[in-house]
Amino acid sequence: MPWRLLKFGLKSTHDEPRFFPESKPLKPHYDVVIIGGGGHGMACAYYLAKEHGITDVAVLEQGYIGGGNTGRNTTIVRSNYLTPEGVKFYDTSVKLFEDLADDFDLNIFYSTRGHFTLAHTDSALRTMRWRAEVNKHQGIESEVVGREEIAKEVPYMDLDCNGHAPVMGALYHAPGSVARHDAVAWGYARGAYNRGVEIHQKTRVTAIRTQGDRVVGVETDRGAISCNKVISMVAGSTPRITSMLGLRTPIEIFPLQACVSEPVKPFMDTIVVSGSLHVYVSQSSRGELVMGASVDPSVLHSTRSSFDFVEGLADQMLDLFPFMSRMKVMRQWAGMSDITPDFAPIMGKTPIDGFYLDAGWGTWGFKATPVSGKTMAWTVANDKTHELIEPFRLSRFADFDLVGEKGAASVGH
Amino acid sequence: MKLLDCPVIGKRPISEFDYLGEVRVPPSQADELVWADYVFNRKGAPGVLRERWYHRPTGRWFVFDRDTLTDEIVAVVDAADVRYEEPRYEIPA
């Protein structure tokens, strides 16, 4: 790589190949249409082509690749969930993430940091112990640590929180990582494109055509397409898609906001999360502190930012890191989270033949990018729900068979 | 700070309100499917939603019609208008 970089630097013309194709006209028919060109959609297209030989695929994206929640999350990857179903699923994802850069021949800046989820109360500590036991049983590195261990790893944190709700302990998850989110989407997109998948940006789906209980095509603002299968992988826009089909789901949309500070010298090599203070923070490879909180309090289909968010976040962050009082916030933004009642995703087949759903990604979607692409591709290729995502089926709500993941998914990114 | 211009109590910071979600009427008698639909499923798509809000400082409940795309409150509904005598529920089409 360095040699290639040197040659690149010395050349007068930079004829690097395009990552993505120029826009082409839509074909009248595709075998599979994927709605949503974020990480999940691109990963699904990639695995459909790579592992199942299905390349007659169009990915339709209303904006640009990775411009939705893929580019708006805080990039944390971890698997220390609460339910065995969740732990198995997210662990598969972490393992896929670790090999992704090699698969893509692209640096995704995957950086294993170690992940502390702080407990400020007895009940939080009890949930941490529960999670640690479930995690260990599934073979995940996860343990409850005391104040001394936290102080050693994160010496610049005020464990007493200035006297307000002192930290009592934490759940430590060594494989907790961060990655460059855009690169993940781009890597999957390039891999899918090189294998024959068509990627259409600025193409909005306006309707889904059905015949009886079967999907036969989609209408877009660039014309109609017929197809055999449609996969909706649109996270925050899911209710707009499902309402085209009259499909009822428990998904509600809440904005999730995040921000970054000005860049400073690297000092924080761990990820710190506090469920009680509703904040999480890590330092990016550019030196910015990437910070987030819980979702906004009411339903809203918008990516607007609010001052209330930064104000509330700063208040909580200063309890943990008093020295941040002199740091400036550089950017803030929001994404639309598709929240489910049990904080687990909704994946797999639906009552409509040929329509597959990959949704309910709330505030926990980025870390599942590889595994959801892989399991959804398998599900679509075999028209049978993959065993890893069977617990996340849409019909679990009608069966009262939920996957209670709130204790590990709400603020704990 | 975002203010909510309430015709009843005037302009108040939105942070004084708690969000209680969509106004919904539970079924009195129903099979499991109808119950599951009532308990879990929601109107997810953007549009005007009739919601309950609770104003903490005054302890008052309000019902607003709010556009979930623009975050505008389009109407304040008298809570008496959404009370119901006989619980009823059908799975919406």
Q: Which stretches does DSSP call E strand in A305-411?
A: 329-339, 346-349, 355-359
Q: Using DSSP bridges, classify how beta strands A57-60 and A29-35 pair: parallel, antiparallel or unpaired.
A: parallel
Q: What is the CATH number of the domain that holds B65?
A: 3.30.2270.10
Q: How far apart are CA A97 and CA A77, in angstroms?
A: 8
Q: Is A253 on the interface with B (CB under 8 A)?
A: yes
Q: Do the domain assignments include residue B15?
A: yes
Residue of A nearest to B22 (CA): A299
Give a yes or no: residue B68 inside a domain. Answer: yes
Phi, psi at B50, each rounded to 5°: -90, 115
Q: How many CB pairs under 8 A join A and B?
A: 66
Q: Please check whether residue B8 lies inside any domain of the structure.
A: yes
B42 vs A250, A308, A399: nearest CB: A250
Q: Please give the residue range of the domain that contains residue B78.
A: 3-82
- Tens-level pLDDT at each residue, chain A (413 residues): 578 778 888 887 777 777 877 778 999 999 999 999 999 999 999 999 999 999 999 999 999 999 999 999 999 999 999 999 999 999 999 999 999 999 999 999 999 999 999 999 999 999 999 999 999 999 999 999 999 999 999 999 999 998 888 999 999 999 999 999 999 999 999 999 999 999 999 999 999 999 999 999 999 999 999 999 999 999 999 999 999 999 999 999 999 999 999 999 999 999 999 988 989 999 999 999 999 999 999 999 999 999 989 999 999 999 999 999 999 999 999 999 999 999 999 999 999 999 999 999 999 999 999 999 999 999 999 999 999 999 999 999 999 999 988 777 766 43
* Domain-located, residue B11: yes
Rounded to whole angstroms, the Cα distance separating B71 from A399 reads 34
A304 at the B interface (CB within 8 A)?
Answer: yes
The class (CATH top level) of A29-73+182-250+342-409 is alpha beta
Residues of A in contact with B51 (CB under 8 A): 298-299
Nearest-CA distance from A306 to chain B in Å?
A: 9
> Domain for residue B38, yes or no?
yes
Which residues have CB under 8 Å from A44's CB, separation 6+?
Answer: A34, A231, A233, A358, A372, A373, A376, A377, A380
Q: Which two tokens stand for residue A116?
A: 């502390």
CB contact under 8 A, B44 and A298: no
Asked if B63 and B52 touch (Cβ cutoff 8 Å), the reply is yes
Where are the strands (E) in A149-234, listed by range? Answer: 169-173, 177-178, 198-200, 205-211, 214-220, 223-232
pLDDT in tens, B42-86: 999 999 999 999 999 999 989 999 999 999 889 888 877 777 655
B85 burial (CB, 10 Å; 0-12 / 13-18 / 19+) is exposed
Query: What ranges do the domains of chain A cover?
Result: 29-73+182-250+342-409, 111-177+252-339
Specify the number of domains making up chain B. Answer: 1
Residue B90, in any domain of the structure: no
Q: Could you tell me the strand order of the sheet in which A111-112 lies?
A: A76-77, A177-178, A111-112
CB A252 to CB B42 under 8 A? yes
Maximum distance among all alpha carbons in chain A?
Answer: 65
* B56 belongs to a structural domain: yes
Contact list, B15 vs chain A (CB under 8 Å) = 308
Alpha carbon distance A292, A256 (integer Å): 8
Q: Do A304 and B21 touch (CB under 8 A)?
A: no
CB A19 within 8 A of CB A190: yes
What pLDDT shows up at residue B27? 84
Residues of chain A neighbouring B91 (CB-CB closer than 8 A): 248
B92 in any annotated domain: no
Q: What are phi and psi of A272, to 5 degrees?
A: -120, 130
CA distance B17 to B7: 15
Q: Which two tokens stand for residue B42?
A: 């929601």
CATH number listed for the domain at residues A111-177+252-339? 3.30.9.10
Say if residues A379 and A387 touch (Cβ distance below 8 Å).
Answer: no
Contact A302 B2 (CB under 8 A): no
pTM of the full structure: 0.92
State how far the Cα of A367 lies from the Cα of A62, in Å rounded to an integer: 23
Q: A313 to chain B, minimum CA–CA distance in Å?
A: 14
Contacts of A389-392 spanning 24+ positions with Cβ under 8 A = A389/A89, A389/A345, A389/A347, A389/A348, A390/A348, A391/A83, A391/A85, A391/A344, A392/A85, A392/A89, A392/A344, A392/A345, A392/A346, A392/A347, A392/A348, A392/A360
- ipTM value: 0.89
Phi, psi of A246 (to 5 degrees): 65, 25
The secondary element (H helix, E strand) that includes residue A135 is helix A122-137
B32 contacts on A by Cβ (under 8 Å): 398, 400
What distance in Å separates the CA atoms of residue A373 and residue A89, rounded to the nearest whole number? 12
Contacts of B69 in chain A (CB under 8 A): 301-302
